[in-house]
Structure 1
């Protein structure tokens, strides 16, 4: 008996040395951001809708676009070709959601924008304006705004948008076709480099007031998400695949090439902004490939595979001025396979965007394809897994993410300095843990640029944190770090940092993509 008591006491003592009794574990994500299911493939919904049949449970909300009204309604596009107006979506719980069909017979609309009293959506072959001219909330005009990109009939030739930038310009993005064969090749064009795709496939485009397509940038594989940042610059996300090492966020601007060389099939077309590409390097580490391929621009942010998701989607700016928590002005990015949402802090160094991504909220009911901020700051999340694999219990639906008013302990921002990083936290830090260099673990790695699907993390190297100094404001910590390197992801683990109540970080990991090192 004495031996048993001694054993228990000794075990408790040893555990106490590793985990201090005063340490408070981090809360759950749901303590800060609640998920409200408006309608999913597993929920019954109200049946008050246009042309409704008794027994229907609601439309199959494979949400492919979301747009707000000025009142309590929203509009959603669904992948199978309709636009619906939904009421009661702000109720908590939403027990009386109503549905009204606004438009139908569209060809895979993959975006929705409300502008000037009408809706804009990109169908597979055109940008379309949907107008209600008689005031009954049913579109009676379907007007072509812009068209002219190539459509061979390949299943992978998705077209996304529109989104609007800070100057009011409309943008859209175009998937490439994968493995085009047989008759489909007859509908393509071939560049001097031998690549073949439909016209402007893999390009980002603007649309002029007159409806003209304006090619801007190229190198896209599957650019399913777009969005402008607080400065009005436009970004898109790409998904891992051949030539694309991992999920990525890119700044769209004239003349930029990103990853995928098959988009260069349109390099010689009239209006192209990409010129003089003589060869595409294959099988090099990204920093070396960028030297050999001057037209290619690195991502603003990499999303390391599985650590930060597997399929990046929509981009949403938190423009709520604090109604959605302590991340105003930052970007939120949807994640398809892992059914979640990630967060991005961006900064501009020497004219180049770069920054860090952080986990934010997991546990959505299905693959996250679209994000829209509501009038109260909450975020509507459009779901559809389209038969592809994703986490979650539903195949499609609409959910709403609401801030509870509690501030999570998070790394709010991660800024690069000439000799390290500056971290800003959402709550005052515990001076002892935050000033200990051992509380921060850093490593760097980059990727291969090659025609193979994805890339392992290569040239991995652990970094030494020389010092950690808590600043006078109590929420900022200055790290001096050896070995920062251009075009590398710098992965941070700050799990040992506590706040002043001895609570752990909700998400201790951050991933900073370094494209430019500041001089001072």
Structure 2
């Protein structure tokens, strides 16, 4: 039962006396929300400029106009940018302009226009919502000063700078936000970075930078922070002070936020003043030399959304006429879309909400409600309007005794309205059942696009990731303590109870690169920071409990061959060690699960070790127990248990061993002669000898851990049943929904953001992994049509898996920390041992460095891509690479470098690869790369990846098959070949690309010209998926395409996850499957025959070309974009279309638009975007 809505409504009701009333806020009709504009218009051929008297914020403009002849003109201007001409045929026809303008403080502003329903313009509003400070002559940053800045941001960039905007150079100065930390940088000298992280949390922060005798120090939100000497260089001529503005080649403008105030003193304030100032109390500090306050939102409509007001101007000449000109405030909900979207699901959702809450007061047609004054919907007239939009206003604002319903989203409110209309009004109270037609929907306020999507109410105070049962252990990156991060950690819950690892009270945190017991902790689990949890960027999860001890990021066991503690792991370019220790030293082998217990298996030298931890709760300080089973070792073994600290008590039951203090650690020495051995180590504080001995003897785990490695009872024995949804066969492709059990539909509240899958040999089942660490199986895939599906959770707690492959029935999962192999040891269908098949992964805490995709070749080798860091230089050798793991798992090779965020891998039949990449720094647009895989010198352009390339020119990198402009696909994922024996008809043998950003599938026709691959993409004619699709495979028996995906950020399709089957229905797709760029011509081969009579009509074709600029900046605008006239169109063999384009040229971006007619007489449009590197001979 869902209690939250009832509890919330009860809270609202009990906040007022039962006879209290909400203020009567009458609902408005759409006409009442409109304000007439440009009322000064007069019919004349003379030029006239009509300016709205009051600047407006976040509004819609509706205007009807006509141009009587060629001399007539009209232009509209929102803000201070360039006016936009209203282009329409000069005749007596009235045309409709719709303009939407949005700008709020801290967000980029934009306006867009349509004429007669066709999009014509989308441009940024002047100012772009950023705070632009006035000139600040006289500010000096090469002597003592104090500067205060107030800001909020969820991104990064400059807060203020003293530099040239176009170029970063010596002695330039900047205070900015990067990876959630504040920094002060002096060009070519160095920087100071704040200790405090997480400042990109969207909250208001006040920071003070003080420079005193060359010593720079931050104070943040009332607390002193980092300090550094030597931060002094002379100011340079030509440098200017800027607010929120960055510098080319270093760091850009502030994103996703705004600076709200800056103050500057030409002296170094004392500590007391600086702390007071950074706490936000500036009133008592004497007058600053410079003071500036940013723009603020204002409300310009009674029920509008506050924003930055902008002027609105209309200029007319030549007798242009206008009528019916009005503005309307934008709204937080897309009312028309929600009403159009009513279906059986919304009706059911409305019924659930009504029966949970509304029925109490309003009743039904057969049962009276509890409040006589409440409307009986089946017979009473409405007091505040009965049409859907006015009902929505009543639910939102309340009316009389009707309380507002803030606990429901707009979608849920409209679901209730749908239920009321269909259940009570239509059959019983028809006079209150108002018609809903296109005209009525078009009159409703439009949704403000830049607002974050409204989220559904929470079922309890926790967020989805906090509600999820992750199982008894969670492998992740955790900050143990400041400066101490366990990059490849395993958090194991030690106390009993439901809910999994996050609901525990005591944990042992291991790190499997070093084999450290990194921390023992009680209390609360973690802060839930990180991109996979709260969605934050530049953050990572930190422990929040009470720590009994912590170990540093160093080897736990001495090198068995020589007794050395020297850390010989790979050194990153930040001077820190990463990745595993040599296999001859030690190796993490995997994690057993037995009930709620987690048992690690690893080796030290030739000794294999099993280890499990538990806790005995006693008094203020519980006793943590580590149980170890060590096989025979030819070498003496030494284990650092914990750093020596006052009060920490260590006991061991290991016979023949010695426990000493050495080099700051409690050290356990195990002579070779004392092995094999089974023993326990107890760690606590404040207990006497007898108590500690009694507590160790109270251990519940068996001393011999081998009994826990045979397979234990199932954690998740029940299947979760869903119903597949067959797709619509009316088009060339039908999409069947393989319905997955979302978080509300499974007992463990598991968040199924799907990231990889593969088919079992029996073909009726697949294994599917999720970003939150699960692996599930689903059966029933071979049904035609889809029917009942059985889902079974078989593994949990993996580290952000983003790829899965089944080989000979064994499941391999590509995780951020390892390539895992799952073992079911007792044939109960559930994983008992997560084998670490390969752990060469070099992991840092940076949020962006995902391990993407998983493929294998005939020899058994595995392939995946490792992302680079976002906007930061590389640290480890795996940053921005394509990687191969040997078939035996013993080593990893780098096949190519220079990628930014390659979302998946396609292994080609000839042993080459297709790898996509995402727009960003050094990557001007998204792209598809054909990769040979020759080694680390094969470089694909990202200067922030790990390589030795210093030449940033385009000639120094391998060029992509195509650059992909954002509007076409904002985030490509994995490519897939259609098998030649698939059941996709004329598309068999074609190449497909999947889109995380837009939830689409594209064909990728390409050619090789002079050895350089070049080509493009064209979307399949089918509806978008509701989530971003990332992984796809063709079924081995039914020959159809299966795809799964998820949403996290930077995508248009925001359903958390989905799994689908896409079938070719046999209908013509008219899809380009081959192309050739030649001198003065473009040849396209289509999947189906075209109509010969219309193929030569030149008005059906458009070709455009543009270039891009690759730089350290994020992305690139289109450069030199122009139309290339098509002078002839020739159809051969019914399917091969050649367009003659005399001005065709090599270009980083090219679009070919074809408005085609098939042989069935139906018209359709196909748009291909691609790249031309060189033109072949005709």
TM superposition score normalised by structure 1 = 0.79
Shift of 1:310: 0.6
2:1040 matched to 1:378? yes
1:67 is matched with 758
Q: How does 1:308-457 map to 2 (within 5 A)?
A: 308-319=968-979, 321-360=981-1020, 361-375=1022-1036, 376-386=1038-1048, 388=1049, 390-392=1051-1053, 394-457=1055-1118
Q: Counterpart in 1 of 2:811?
A: 119
Provide the C-alpha distance between the structure 2 equivalents of 1:80 and 1:35, rounded to a whole number of angstroms.
Answer: 26
Give distance in 1, aligned partners of 2:992 and 2:1088: 20
Alpha carbons 1:32, 1:404 under 8 Å: kept:
yes
User: Is the aligned partner of 1:202 residue 2:887?
Assistant: no
The SS at the match of 2:1024 is coil
Does the CA contact (< 8 Å) of 1:310 and 1:337 recur in 2? yes
Pick from 846, 853, 861 the counterpart of residue 154 of structure 1. Answer: 846
Shift of 1:438: 4.0
**Inter-CA distance 393–256: structure 2 relative to 1 (3 Å threshold):** closer
Distance 1:475 1:43, change over 3 A: farther
Partner of 2:1152: 492
Q: Deviations over 1:329-373 (max 9, x none)?
A: 222222123222222112222222221200124421212122222
Which deviates the most, 69-78 or 364-373? 364-373
Q: Aligned runs of 1:105-184 on 2, under 5 Å?
A: 105-132=797-824, 134-165=826-857, 169-178=861-870
Does residue 81 in structure 1 map to residue 773 in structure 2?
A: yes
Distance in structure 2 (CA, Å) of the matches to 1:29 and 1:252: 37
Of residues 70-79 and 322-331 in structure 1, the stretch that sits farther from structure 2 once superposed is 322-331
Alignment pair present for 1:509 and 2:1167: yes
Distance 2:871 2:864 in 1: 23
Identify the residue that residue 249 of structure 1 maps to in structure 2.
Answer: 928
Contact 2:1047–2:1053 (CA under 8 A) maintained in structure 1? no
State the Cα distance separating 1:397 from its structure 2 match. 2.4
- Pairing 1:33–2:724 present: no
Structure 1 residue corresponding to 2:960, chosen from 299, 302, 307: 299
Aligned equivalent of 2:134: none
Q: What secondary structure sits across from 1:445 in the alignment?
A: strand
Aligned to 1:270: none
Instruction: State the Cα deviation string for residues 105-143 of structure 1 (Å, max 9, x = none).
Output: 211111001113312222112222223455443334433
Deviation (angstroms), 1:174: 0.7
Question: Does the 8 A contact of 1:229 with 1:331 survive in 2?
Answer: no
CA deviation after TM superposition for structure 1 residue 509, in Å: 0.8
Task: Measure, in 2, the Cα distance between the counterparts of 1:261 and 1:30.
Answer: 48
Runs of 4+ in structure 1 over 6 Å off: 41-45
Contact 2:1032 2:1043 in 1 (8 A): yes
SS in 1 for 2:868: coil
Cross-structure match for 1:236: 915
Contact 2:1007 2:1075 in 1 (8 A): no
Contact 2:1105 2:1147 in 1 (8 A): no
Please give the TM-score of this superposition, normalised by the length of structure 2. Answer: 0.36
Structure 1 residue 399, shift from structure 2 partner = 2.1
Pair 1:220 & 2:899 matched: yes
Instruction: Summarize the Cα distance change of 1:398–1:429 in structure 2 as closer, same or farther, 3 Å threshold.
Output: closer
Separation in 2 of the partners of 1:408 and 1:389?
29
Deviation at 1:389, TM superposition (A): 5.1
In structure 2, what is the equivalent of residue 290 of structure 1? 954
Out of 478, 495, 504, which is 2:1138 matched to?
478
Q: Against the structure 1 CA distance between its residues 426 and 415, is the aligned structure 2 distance closer, same or farther, given a 3 Å change threshold?
A: same
Provide the alpha-carbon RMSD of the alignment: 2.8
Unaligned runs of 5+ in 2: 1-90, 94-727
> C-alpha deviations, 1:164-218, integer Å up to 9, x for none?
35775421111112256xxxxxxxxxxxxxx442232111112223431111111
Work out the CA distance in 1 between the residues paired with 2:1120 and 2:741: 44
1:55-111 Cα deviation digits (max 9, x unpaired) = x7x853211111111321111011111211111134355442112233222111110
Residue-pair matches, total = 447
Secondary structure of the corresponding residue to residue 260 of structure 1 = coil
State which structure, 1 or 2, has the greater radius of gyration over its C-alpha atoms: 2
Change in CA separation of 1:239 and 1:118 when aligned onto 2, cut-off 3 Å: same
Partner of 1:278: 950
Report if the CA contact (8 A) 1:160-1:172 is conserved: yes
| Larger RCO of the pair (alpha carbons < 8 Å, separation 6+) | 1
Answering whether residue 955 of structure 2 is matched by residue 263 of structure 1, we say no
Distance 1:279 1:420 in 2: 34
